[in-house]
Structures are given as structure tokens and as C-alpha cells.
Amino acid sequence: MALVPFDDRDGQIWFDGALVPWREAKLHVLSHGLHYASAVFEGERAYAGEIFRLRAHTERLLASARLLGFEIPWTAEQIDAACRQVVAANGLVDAYVRPIAWRGTEQLSVSAQQTRIHLAIATWAWPNLFGDNRMKGVRLDLANWKRPHPETAPTASKAAGLYMIGTLAKHAAEAAGFEDALMLDWRGQVAEATGANVFFVMNGALHTPTPDCFLDGITRRSVMALARRRQMEVVERAILPAEMARATEVFLAGTAAEVTPVRRIGSLEFTPGQVTGTLLRDFEQLVRTAPAEVERTAPI
Ligand code: PMP
């Protein structure tokens, strides 16, 4: 299938306060965000016209920017409205939404105090990250690249620069015939996949790594709420790679991946089972629930 480049599509993109034709949503090559990775972004999904946990995503976007030392010049209310506007303007109901904020062109040096902050929001139809492979379970290779210490990088920020590690890990996994990589952190503990958090079913309880050096995903927190609603025990803790063999089921959770069963990590095999199936269906139902009801029935 031929890839349609992202700069040559029909539609509209919200750019610094107004909708512009898709092909005209451009920035200059001498943008600070491009050279020095001073950019933060979000990944959201609209289901049946409603963006799932929109306010949580918007708040994380604002917080990600502050962690990189800049303030996005729009309020949470304005960003929420812009996200909804761009989905509607493109005639989409089930869609992926990508807000991104970056430092502009006023200064091109490590110091960037005088740069203007820009915000753009695009949206497109994007079925599940793992496509047709998803339901039979994906295969993860153990990455050589590690999630860094929080004093080495702003790890709580959804910062563009951190994805350099993810792309390297994912390309290595793909070259070895896997769909994605499972990364350890700098201590050697299990961290996350390149764009999703990881869960293990052990003795009927749900175990997931403590997110102290990687993103505490909104999907992750939603899945934990759903599991507790089902009276499952949920354990956040340090998980060592040697423990993974004890898991009876493994799955990923993230906006693009949604809930995706895992059938292999390195040489370990897993069979997608009942817990994964139940939480996957609960999540599919939750994302199509009215926003106020989502906050009431599965608070995160
Ligand atoms: N970790 C990484 C590295 C990610 O890119 C994502 C996707 N944003 C997640 C975890 C999951 O986060 P969320 O559920 O909020 O999409």
C-alpha cells in the first residue's frame, strides 16, 4: 500500500488559533522545536465524535510544556474547544487527534527564552496502531535502549525528544521481526513499550510497573480503574524482566494501541486470555460512554 505523506492530504489543521488548509500548515526549517526538540505533543482518540478524556490529555499537554520550561499561550478550555473543532471540521467521528506545541524561530541556539510558542492540532482516521495483528496478540522484542533516569531527561513530559529512544528501539524490534519493543528502564526494571504501557496478569491480579521514569498513560489509568471496578487487585510496582515468565497474560494499553494483547516477549510466549478480553471489552465500552459518565464510573 502506497503511503500518503502527511503533508499532502485534504482537510484542515488548527494552527495558532485558526483552521488552515491541510497543505498550508507549515513551519520554517529554522524552528527551535525541530533543531533542539523543544516540542511536546498529545495523542488522543475521538470515538463517535467525543474525544476520550479530552481534559486529561489537554492538562498533560500543558504540564508537558511546563516541564520543558514553556507555557502554551492557550487555556485548557480553548485547547479542548480547538480539538473538538478540528475533528468536526474534518468531518470525522472516529479519529486520532494530535496536538503539538513547539518553540518557534526567534532564537536558534540552546537558549531559547525569546522564542514564540506555537500550537497546532491535526486529526486523521487511524485505526488501531497494530491493525490486523492486534487481536491475536503482538510480539515484543526486548529493547537494548533504556528509559532514562528522571534526572537525565524530563521523563514525565510527553516530549518529542524522548521519542528518539522509542524510534530506535522500535526499528530494531521491527528489523528482528517483532511488532514492537519492550523497554527496560535505566535500573533494568520493566518500563513500557515504545508508545504504550504494559500490564501483566499474575495469580489473577493485574501488575504494572510504577511510572516513575516514563509516561503514566491515560489509558493505563483507565484500565486500572476498570480492573478495580471488576474487583481485581491492581498492583503498581517495580517488575524485573525475570518475573515476566510468571505472567499468564500480558497486554499493552495506550491511546493508539488501545488494549492490545501480547503473545510474545523475546522468547516468552503468552496466550491472550480472559482477563485481557474482559478489560479490552470494558475499555471499548468506556470510550463510547458519555464523558461525564466516564469520570463518574471510572475515575482516574
Ligand atoms: N508511553 C508512551 C511512550 C507513549 O507514547 C504513550 C502514548 N501516549 C503511552 C505510554 C500511553 O499513554 P496514553 O494512554 O496516555 O496514550
- Mean pLDDT by groups of 10 residues along the chain of 300 residues: 88 98 98 98 97 98 98 98 98 98 98 98 90 86 98 98 98 98 98 98 97 98 98 98 98 97 98 96 96 92
158 assigned to active site: yes
Instruction: Classify domain 131-297 by CATH number.
Output: 3.20.10.10
Half-sphere exposure of 283 (CA within 13 A, CB side): 25
Furthest-apart CA atoms within the chain: distance in Å = 56
> What's residue 243's pLDDT?
98
> What's residue 127's pLDDT?
85
Residue written as grid cell 492530504:
9
Question: For atom 9 of ligand 1, which residue has the closest CA?
Answer: 196
- Sequence ranges of the chain with CATH classification 3.30.470.10: 12-124
Question: For atom 3 of ligand 1, which residue has the closest CA?
Answer: 195
Q: Is 43 touching ligand 1 by the criterion CB < 6 Å?
A: yes
Q: In one letter, which amino acid is 123? A: T
Q: Ligand 1 centroid to 189 CA: how many Å?
A: 18
Q: Ligand 1 centroid to 97 CA: how many Å?
A: 13
> What's residue 129's pLDDT?
76
Most informative mutation of 53, 145, 158 for ligand 1 (most atoms within 8 A of CB): 158
> What's residue 1's pLDDT?
54
Q: Is 196 touching ligand 1 by the criterion CB < 6 Å?
A: yes
Q: What does the H/E/C string look like for the chain?
A: CCCCCCCCCCCEEEECCEEEEHHHCCCCCCCHHHHHCCEEECCEEEECCEECCHHHHHHHHHHHHHHCCCCCCCCHHHHHHHHHHHHHHCCCCCEEEEEEEEECCCCCCCCCCCCCEEEEEEEECCCCCCHHHCCCCEEEEEEEEEECCCCCCCCCCCEHHHHHHHHHHHHHHHHCCCCEEEEEECCCCEEEECCCEEEEEECCEEEEECCCCCCCCHHHHHHHHHHHHCCCCEEEECCCHHHHHHCCEEEEEECCCEEEEEEEECCEECCCCHHHHHHHHHHHHHCCCCHHHHHHHCCC
Give the ligand 1 atom nearest the CA of 162: 3
- Sequence ranges of the chain with CATH classification 3.20.10.10: 131-297
Q: Ligand 1 centroid to 114 CA: how many Å?
A: 30
Q: Ligand 1 centroid to 255 CA: how many Å?
A: 6
Residues in the chain, overall count:
300
> What's residue 130's pLDDT?
81
CATH architecture of 12-124: 2-Layer Sandwich (3.30)
- The answer to pTM > 0.95 is yes
